[in-house]
Structure 1
Amino acid sequence: SMGGGSASLFLMVAFYALSGFFQSTGGPSSYSTITKWTPRNKRGSYLGLWNMSHNVGGAGAAGVALFGANYLFDGHVIGMFVFPSIIAIIVGFIGM
């Protein structure tokens, strides 16, 4: 027996797999759009920027979370979750 955590582990793996399944449709369609709308001689640069954006965005998100925790929540960890959430809510309302 794996113990009491086996059900939650199974659910976590199942939801992670489901998320990956739905997110996997984004890559091919993005590549297709980039290749159809960019000139052939600049295509590599555009695809490189598109791939780099995930890493830059992840680093930027970490910086935003640390800024929120340190400067707005006196170093409390909860600020790493609350501050980016507030930003996401504001951006969501702007996008409506």
Structure 2
Amino acid sequence: MSDLTERIQLTREHRDLILKYGYVSGRLEASLRRWPKDQLLRRVGMTRVELHLLIGDLSHSCVKGKAGSDVEAVADLCDHLEYAQRTGDGDLDILW
């Protein structure tokens, strides 16, 4: 199995959007479903291929209108994932 080289920080909302529109399976799906209910942020490991496919799935959902009222949130998630893919920085820029 490929190394989990991509470490992406996600919110609980991101997790829900990925499970709803991202066609994930296997190890990545199991990791997202194990997310503790009281945890707002989590860093998720994935392979470069998983990240690439996830971005494609989410973008497809936006372009084809499958994201419905979630389209802006899914587009923002795509931006975050694409930035992480391009720069290697998977951290969210959140001010608490």
Do Structure 1 and Structure 2 share a fold, with TM-score over 0.5?
Answer: no
Higher relative contact order (CA 8 A, sep 6+): 2
The alignment's TM-score, normalised by the length of structure 1, stands at 0.28
TM-score under structure 2 length normalisation: 0.28
The answer to which structure has the higher strand fraction is 2
